[in-house]
Amino acid sequence: MGTEGKRKGRETLRQLAERWNLNVTHSLQMRLALGYSLLIAVLLVLMNTYPLIMSQNLMFRSQQTALANQAVLITNTLTTADELTTETVEQAINQLEELDVARVVITDQAGLVLYDTGKVSSMGKYVLTREIADALRGNNAFSGRYQDGMFSSRAASPVMNRNQVVGAVCLYEQDRDQGALLQELQRNLRLISVVVCLAVLALFGIFSNFFSRRVRTLLGGIRTVRAGEYTHRISMRGNDELTQLAEEFNQLTGRLQTTEEERRRFVSDASHELKTPLASIRLLTDSILQDETIDRETTREFVGDIGEAADRLIHISQELLELNRLDEGRAIRREAVDLNEQVEKVQRLLAPLAETACVNLQTHLGDKCMVLCNAEDASQILRNLIENAIKYNLPGGEVEVTTCHQGDWISLTVADTGMGIPEEDLSRIFERFYRVDKARSRSAGGTGLGLSIVRDAVRHHGGQISVQPRQEAGVIFEVLLPAWREEDGR
Ligand code: ADP
């Protein structure tokens, strides 16, 4: 293949990999395939070698025993002769019944063949095979070979006379039947290996296709969401880990979608809130600048209005900064705070507002209501809740602030007899910039951020907040903050 051919081949592979969203060298599928192939190759090699080796060993062992027995028979007969010669050996062998071996070779102590039943006789020659040499040194020797479907074995034993080696007996055996059986076994094992290989490959193909299709669905979903499509959800059937992963991913995307929507709404609400005072400032400054005949009194009035709009901007930015501080979730300072003391401080602070609004502000404080919080956040929570209870009240109305112990918690309730909150708005009043009565909130200097700050601050300190309509009139806010215990101070 020329360079051009190779380049085209690589290009096609790359395109295929891209179409399947696969990184050929690192994909999970590839690794699985390689791992499985290796495992199966090892298993097949074991399956094709171990049983054969074991059968061969068994065969050799049985031949060794048979030959050893026959060798003992012959050597026992020969030990009676003082010296081994062709005659003495033949005499001794003739006394034996027919021997059941392929060939018998008997040598004297120098390795000269005295007796040989082989087809090509080596009588009168010196034969020093490894086995005969071993036997002449006084040892029993055996060797076996399996080749072309035939088992060939050789066993040699020394012939002893008065503790002297006087010769050696070497027996040869060949077995074609057992060899044929082993060859049959070998063929069967190969056939089984091929079938197993094909079955495993087919199964792996089906499984890996199914698996990679699901992984591709997951990857596709992740990429779509990454591109900003937060409404996208992955649909995956089944009940395995990948389905669970898809479900987790969908939940995560759901949360991302909510956060993204909240962020957009927040930016739009915040811009809207800032736009109103900025537009008034612009309008008032234009009026002053463009009207050359404007008198001093009107100018003062307009500048006062500009100041009010600026105050409002400062108020909104302060509250936004406060929310940002709580959002950041930095490690907070927690200490023992006397909640009653904070209630009394806020009561003194808001007394003029309550008086102007003709609202009666009362407190019922429990014994030693110490909370694990910090003084600024406790005061912030109280100020927002009590100020709202006054702002959204009616002339002659009541505000009741109560503190008491409730197990591990300190409960703070702020109840009023004001205009109340419609059922459908109750769940939304803690949202940023949410107002039930927009006009009243604005005229009272509200930003729609107060209750969000309260909720975030309460949660920040591990507490809970809830709101309920009161049967008679108005609403009741309940805040639970963790009670301070002796061991918290250590
Ligand atoms: P605001 O700065 O407008 O007071 P908040 O976040 O404190 O903003 O409150 C959100 C909205 O919830 C208010 O605009 C008001 O409509 C409603 N609200 C809060 N507290 C009360 C209350 N005690 N009684 C009636 N309505 C209330």
DSSP H or E run through 156: strand 150-161
Q: Answer whether 17's CB lies under 8 Å from 23's CB.
A: yes
- Which residue in 81, 95, 68, 73 sits closest to 161, CA to CA? 81
Q: Which residues pair with 475 in a beta bridge?
A: 469
Distance CA 219, CA 414 (A): 51
Residue nearest to atom 23 of ligand 1 (CA): 389
Q: Which residues pair with 170 in a beta bridge?
A: 105, 156
Distance 422 CA to ligand 1 centre (A): 12
Q: Answer whether 373's CB lies under 8 Å from 461's CB.
A: yes
Distance CA 307, CA 291 (A): 20
Q: What is the pLDDT of residue 9?
A: 67
- Which residue in 424, 365, 415 sits closest to 392, CA to CA? 415
Distance CA 236, CA 242 (A): 8
DSSP H or E run through 457: helix 450-460
Q: What is the pLDDT of residue 401?
A: 97
Q: Tell me if 179 CB under 6 Å of ligand 1.
A: no
CA separation, residue 55 to residues 47, 48, 50 (Å): 13, 12, 9
Q: Tell me if 397 CB under 6 Å of ligand 1.
A: no
| Alpha carbons within 13 A on the beta-carbon side of 482 | 16
Distance 427 CA to ligand 1 centre (A): 12
Distance 435 CA to ligand 1 centre (A): 6
Distance 8 CA to ligand 1 centre (A): 70
Q: What is the pLDDT of residue 36?
A: 82
Place of tokens 């190759």: 41
Distance 444 CA to ligand 1 centre (A): 10
Distance 65 CA to ligand 1 centre (A): 104
Distance 446 CA to ligand 1 centre (A): 8
Q: Answer whether 66's CB lies under 8 Å from 173's CB.
A: yes
Average pLDDT, consecutive stretches of 10 residues, N- to C-terminus, the chain (490 residues): 66 61 58 84 90 90 90 86 82 80 90 89 87 92 89 92 89 89 90 90 85 88 91 89 92 93 88 90 92 88 93 90 82 86 95 94 93 92 96 94 94 95 91 84 81 93 94 93 79
What is the phi/psi pair of residue 304, to 5°? -60, -45
Q: Tell me if 417 CB under 6 Å of ligand 1.
A: no
Q: Mind listing the pLDDT tens digit for each residue in 8-34?
A: 766 765 666 555 555 544 567 778 778
Q: Provide the H-helix boundaries in 137-228.
A: 176-226
Q: What is the pLDDT of residue 25?
A: 42
| Alpha carbons within 13 A on the beta-carbon side of 36 | 17
CA separation, residue 130 to residues 108, 111, 255 (Å): 15, 11, 84
Q: Tell me if 453 CB under 6 Å of ligand 1.
A: no
Distance 384 CA to ligand 1 centre (A): 9
* pTM exceeds 0.95: no
CA angle 404, 405, 407 (to 5 degrees): 155
Residue nearest to atom 8 of ligand 1 (CA): 448
Q: Tell me if 446 CB under 6 Å of ligand 1.
A: yes
Q: Tell me if 476 CB under 6 Å of ligand 1.
A: no
Q: What is the pLDDT of residue 121?
A: 82
Q: What is the pLDDT of residue 4?
A: 73
Would you call 484 exposed, middle or buried from its count of C-beta atoms within 10 A (0-12, 13-18, 19+)?
A: buried
Distance 389 CA to ligand 1 centre (A): 8
Q: What is the pLDDT of residue 187?
A: 92
Q: What is the pLDDT of residue 14?
A: 62
Q: Mind listing the pLDDT tens digit for each residue in 325-348?
A: 888 877 677 889 999 999 999 999
Q: What is the pLDDT of residue 178?
A: 86
Residue nearest to atom 2 of ligand 1 (CA): 446
Q: Tell me if 419 CB under 6 Å of ligand 1.
A: yes
Q: Tell me if 460 CB under 6 Å of ligand 1.
A: no
Residue nearest to atom 11 of ligand 1 (CA): 435
**C-beta atoms surrounding 199 within 10 Å:** 10
